[in-house]
Amino acid sequence: MTLAAGRHYLAIPGPSVMPDPVLAAMHRPAPNIYEGELVDMTATIAADLKRIAVTEHQVAIYIANGHGAWEAALANVCAPGETVLCCVTGRFGEGWAEMARGLGLVAEEIDFGLSSALDAGRIEAALREDRAGRIRAVLVNHVDTATTVRNDIAAVRAAIDAAGHPALLMVDCIASLGCDPFEMDALGADVVVAASQKGLMTPPGLGFLFFNERADAVQRANKVSGYWSWTVRARPEMFYQFFGGTAPTHHLYGLRTALDMLLAEGLEAIWHRHEVLSGAIWAAVDAWGQGGAMRLNVPRPEERSFAVTSVHLPEGKAEELRRFCSERLGVTLGIGLGRDPGVDYLRVGHMGHVNAHMVLGVVGVMEAGMAALSIPFGPGAGSAAAEVVARGC
């Protein structure tokens, strides 16, 4: 027998749950792409994206997923043969480094492991050793979606400044924007990479680059293709220049509605909601771990993302539980991406359009799955999660 009939719930770390108003906004005929409503609306999107990133600087929009936004960021500020310093706290840190190498860059990695945040002291030391100033940029994932580690961006900015190094600070906020607290200007990021399909609650397909004057000055000294260059996209004279060609029409309608919803709630409220709901998941896993082998991948709470949680359950039980919950109970959890063996990890997405009953429902489903599969676990997870939610009200 299956209990999965009904509306399936996707608790993966992106694409996140899309609100019904966002889907409804996209359900319309193709618009005129030369004048009228779409053109007028797009001008408001750029301004409101900057409100979400908390920046007074520029934003460029690409028809791309997060990987495309990675490439756009590198293409604008780095030329083949130049060096970037990649701070790796998981698979997506490795992925950005791999992309850099594919573009002909020298990607030097500092590996901080898969369960802890970066050590800014090691970054400062590496920059001090670079007396010739070869390193063009420091690449950091604010949240690595695979390990769910959250890094201290202010500490990286301080390390670059303490070393007196001219490297740009480039931050991947694909998983964290609109979920974990992040303020581009206050944190001193020069380039910020984001995408539409996680905290911004819009289908995959839009990538965003936020950049300040320091990064723009570097870009202007580079040779960048007309498509990847952020110069015209951020300051278009004609509408099509926003996107290097035809606009992603229906994504823009969806994004406009998503931004309306986010700004109506307010950033402080959004960050608080994600903090509370992630805490409910952590409390449940801690309770289960008292009578079984389940544990959180990131031991220190201050180094955990509010958007997604990686969970370790050995002997292949994580994948067994994940499949059971999806096939038999109607909830899909995230795979153990970037792990060997991946079958010992699963990830719980709690980003974007998510509320208390969604998260508490995931807790109940996971416990039912463990009980059905005879996976040992400690009692009280539901009560512990509910108590976190109650305190956060």
Whole-angstrom distance, CA of residue 169 vs CA of residue 157: 7
- With CA atoms as reference, report the closest residue to 233 among 37, 17, 49, 2: 49
Tokens of 359: 């998260």
Tokens of 385: 């999660």
The kind and range of the H/E element at 213 are helix 213-220
Ordered DSSP codes for 70-96: HHHHHHHH--TT-EEEEEESSHHHHHH
Any binding-site annotation on 122? Answer: no
Whole-angstrom distance, CA of residue 312 vs CA of residue 296: 6
Q: By the 8 A CB rule, do 199 and 307 touch?
A: yes
Our CA angle for 279, 281, 282, nearest 5°, is 65
Residue 106 backbone dihedrals phi, psi, to 5 degrees: -95, 115
Our CA angle for 295, 14, 226, nearest 5°, is 135
The kind and range of the H/E element at 319 are helix 317-329
What single DSSP character describes residue 143? B
CA dihedral 93, 99, 100, 102 (to 10 degrees): 150
- Residues with Cβ within 8 Å of 117's Cβ and at least 6 positions away in sequence, in order, are 89, 149, 150, 151, 152, 300, 303
Whole-angstrom distance, CA of residue 268 vs CA of residue 279: 16
Q: By the 8 A CB rule, do 57 and 210 touch?
A: yes
Residue found under tokens 């792409």: 33
Whole-angstrom distance, CA of residue 329 vs CA of residue 41: 41
Using N-to-C axis directions, what is the helix angle for 213-220 and 66-77, rounded to 10°? 70
Whole-angstrom distance, CA of residue 274 vs CA of residue 159: 28
Our CA angle for 181, 185, 190, nearest 5°, is 110
Which residues does the annotation place in the binding site for substrate? Answer: 347
Q: Which residues are known binding-site members?
A: 347
